[in-house]
């Protein structure tokens, strides 16, 4: 019998096919180094949890079940610390920044930083976000009809926005040099080294990290001088300091707040955690929408209507539910932080599952967001899942782009506001279309990156 209505076109963006057989140890190390997303087999997308013993890094638990995830990240969070491998990669760069701090230092820092991330301050960043996005978008005027790399461009855009909200452009030294150092630093240092997986001792040099050391020293020098410049300004009566992250963090300095070193660590943490993540999700959103022109038109209409009546970008996140949904669905399929890693401090139980002390626990938004038992048609890009009338059907612990529990992303509201403002500015003016060479492949580095970039054609709408 013929269908009365044609099924809506759907789009299944690229992703590795689940493995049918587990890899050998050697294969595994190679895959982990190249692209951990290619490691997971059918069970990882079907089972509530997988417990592996006898592996190279000790017992490993892959947690997909929302109840188990809630147990690890919220209900019994105090029994789980940041995983060894993650700390080995990130701590040399971020030290006691909020992402890598633990115990008392983390507790004190998180509390000291709460006043920095208030809704009032985030709303105060909407203006600079709009300004930077608008200036950035104007560059496309020179590229109309031509090819641009949307992935690289989104990194530049979110970096501009972050630099503005962090320092208001008041950086010691050359701003271009600064952006370049950031790229080098995270390219060379933010990698999983096979020696870390093997649990090799710290004194064994990691080739993946040696290269980044000079960058790190240079970079920390710039941040320290930038802080000094601002401190002078804050102390001076003649000049007014901007109300940006740097001023807010410096205000949190004190015996119950942050130390000078921790402020430096947190600035580097914000740079590390706060722009590439949003950039990846923006890039994947624009790519997915180019594959669904009808959906894209609907969003363009929404943006046009809101821009015509609401000039204040603070309200756009609430006023543009379709735009927001497109971004949230892109973060489901391509979670910018594809894995949240923990280690059990003491033996623990969940239902009939025993989690031994020292077990590595992986809560992977990558597999949870694509889990067959949690989602209909999990591989398809369907933004309407996140429309207001459907949103309540998505459980809190089946969708975790920003994590959950006490260590939930502190920048989530900032990122959502920024994303909708950036999409509104770009999509109100331009269209990005696929080219024959637009063939991104998702690769897990620190974030979920499109290998091959996102070469696309930009035209004026």
270 binds ligand HEM per the rule CB under 6 A: yes
- Residue of minimal Cβ distance to ligand HEM: 411
Is the distance from CB of 14 to CB of 441 less than 8 angstroms?
A: yes
Looking at residues 394 to 433 of the shown chain, list those that interact with ligand HEM (rule: CB under 6 A): 401-403, 407, 409-411, 414-415
Among 269, 285, 323, 360, contact with ligand HEM (rule: CB under 6 A): 269
Nearer to ligand HEM by Cβ, of 102 and 318: the residue is 102
Q: Which is nearer to ligand HEM, 138 or 183 (CB)?
A: 183
- What is the Cα–Cα distance from 79 to 263, expressed in whole angstroms? 27
Provide the token pair at 30.
């190679």
Tabulate helix, strand, coil % of the chain (nearest 5): 55, 10, 35
Which class for 156: exposed (0-12), middle (13-18), buried (19 or more C-beta within 10 A)? middle
Q: Do 277 and 337 contact (CB within 8 A), yes or no? A: yes
338 is a contact residue toward ligand HEM (CB under 6 A): no
Residue that has been written with the tokens 């949103």 in this structure: 391
Give CA–CA dist 372/267, Å, rounded: 39
- Shortest spacing between CB 121 and ligand HEM, in angstroms: 11
Least distance to ligand HEM, CB of residue 366, Å? 11
Residue of 81, 110, 152, 429 interacting with ligand HEM (CB under 6 A): 110
DSSP symbol at 41: B
Regarding 277 and contact with ligand HEM (CB under 6 A), the answer is yes
**Closest separation between CB of residue 333 and ligand HEM, Å?**
13
Q: Does 273 bind ligand HEM (CB under 6 A)?
A: yes
CA distance 282 to 452: 16
CA distance to 45, 358, 381, 396, per residue, from 375 (Å) = 11, 31, 12, 13
Find the shortest distance in angstroms from Cβ 408 to ligand HEM.
6
How big is the site for ligand HEM, counted in residues (CB under 6 A)? 22
Binding of ligand HEM by 155 (CB under 6 A): no
Alpha-carbon separation of residue 231 from 125, 223, 244, 266, 366 (angstroms): 21, 12, 13, 16, 42
Per CB under 6 A, the segment of 3-11, 203-211, 268-276, 449-457 that binds ligand HEM is 268-276
CB of 252 to ligand HEM, least distance (A): 13
Residue closer to ligand HEM by CB (options 402, 432) is 402
DSSP structure string for 91-118: HHHHTTSTTT--HHHHHHHHHHHGGGG-
**In this complex, which beta carbon is closest to ligand HEM, that of residue 162 or of residue 458?**
162
Task: Decide whether 269 or 438 has the Cβ nearer to ligand HEM.
Answer: 269
**Is residue 91 close enough to count as binding ligand HEM by CB under 6 A?**
no
Other residues' Cβ atoms within 10 Å of the Cβ of residue 236? 10
Q: How many CB atoms lie within 10 A of CB 207?
A: 11
Residue 45: alpha-carbon gap to chain centroid: 22
Which residue lies nearer to ligand HEM by CB, 248 or 431?
A: 248
Q: Identify which of residues 431 and 454 has a Cβ nearer to ligand HEM in the complex.
A: 454
Minimum CB distance to ligand HEM, residue 290 (Å): 20
Residue from 63, 69, 185, 337 binding ligand HEM (CB under 6 A): 337
Per CB under 6 A, 317 contacts ligand HEM: no
Q: Which of 151, 155, 278, 323 binds ligand HEM (CB under 6 A)?
A: 278
Pick from 288, 327, 321: which is nearest to 303 by CA?
Answer: 321
Stretch that binds ligand HEM, among 28-36, 40-48, 255-263, 272-280 (CB under 6 A): 272-280
Q: How far is CA 155 from the centre of its chain?
A: 12
Strands (E), 205-344: 340-344
Which of 305, 365, 295 has the alpha carbon at shortest distance from 325? Answer: 295
- Among the residue ranges 179-187, 271-279, 287-295, 387-395, the one whose residues contact ligand HEM (CB under 6 A): 271-279
Six-digit token string for 163: 């630099």
The β-bridge relationship of strands 60-63 and 360-363 is: parallel
Q: Which residues bind ligand HEM (CB under 6 A)?
A: 98-99, 110, 269-270, 273-274, 277-278, 281, 336-337, 340, 401-403, 407, 409-411, 414-415
């Amino acid at each position: 019998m013929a269908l009365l209505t044609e099924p809506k076109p759907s789009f299944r963006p690229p992703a590795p096919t689940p493995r049918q057989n587990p890899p050998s140890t050697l294969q595994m190390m190679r895959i982990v180094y190249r692209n951990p997303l290619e490691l997971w087999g059918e069970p990882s997308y079907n089972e509530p949890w997988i417990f592996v013993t006898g592996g190279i890094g000790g017992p490993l638990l892959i947690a997909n079940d929302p109840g188990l995830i809630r147990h690890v990240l919220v209900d019994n969070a105090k029994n789980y610390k940041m995983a060894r491998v993650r700390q080995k990669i990130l701590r040399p760069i971020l030290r006691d920044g909020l992402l890598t701090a633990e115990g008392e230092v983390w507790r004190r820092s998180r509390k000291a930083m709460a006043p920095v991330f208030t809704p009032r301050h985030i709303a105060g960043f909407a203006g600079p976000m709009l300004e930077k996005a608008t200036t950035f978008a104007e560059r496309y005027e020179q590229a109309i009809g031509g090819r641009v790399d949307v992935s690289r461009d989104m990194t530049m855009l979110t970096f501009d926005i972050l630099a503005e909200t962090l320092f208001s452009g008041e950086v010691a030294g050359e701003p271009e040099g600064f952006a370049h150092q950031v790229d080098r630093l995270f390219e060379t240092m933010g990698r999983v080294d096979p020696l870390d997986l093997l649990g090799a001792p710290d004194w064994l040099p990691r080739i993946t990290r040696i290269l980044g050391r000079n960058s790190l020293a240079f970079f920390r020098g710039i941040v320290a001088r930038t802080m000094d410049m601002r401190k002078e300004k804050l102390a001076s009566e003649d000049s007014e300091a901007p109300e940006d992250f740097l001023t807010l963090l410096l205000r949190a300095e004190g015996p119950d707040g942050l130390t000078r070193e921790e402020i430096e660590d947190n600035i580097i943490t914000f740079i590390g955690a706060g722009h590439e993540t949003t950039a990846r999700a923006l890039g994947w959103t624009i790519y997915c929408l180019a594959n669904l022109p009808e959906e894209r038109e609907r969003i363009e209409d929404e943006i046009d209507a809101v821009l015509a009546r609401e000039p204040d970008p603070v309200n756009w996140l609430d006023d543009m539910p379709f735009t927001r949904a497109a971004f949230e669905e892109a973060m489901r399929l391509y979670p910018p932080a594809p894995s949240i890693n923990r280690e059990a401090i003491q033996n623990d139980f969940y239902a009939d599952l025993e989690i031994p002390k020292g077990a590595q626990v992986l809560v992977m938004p990558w597999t949870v967001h694509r889990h067959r038992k949690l989602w209909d048609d999990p591989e398809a890009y369907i933004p309407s899942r996140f429309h207001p009338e459907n949103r309540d059907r998505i459980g809190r612990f089946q969708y975790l782009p920003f994590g959950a529990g006490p260590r939930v992303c502190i920048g989530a509201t900032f990122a959502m506001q920024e994303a909708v403002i950036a999409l509104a500015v770009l999509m109100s003016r331009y269209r990005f279309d696929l080219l024959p060479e637009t063939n991104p492949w998702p690769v897990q580095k620190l974030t979920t990156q499109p290998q091959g970039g996102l070469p696309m054609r930009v035209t004026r709408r």
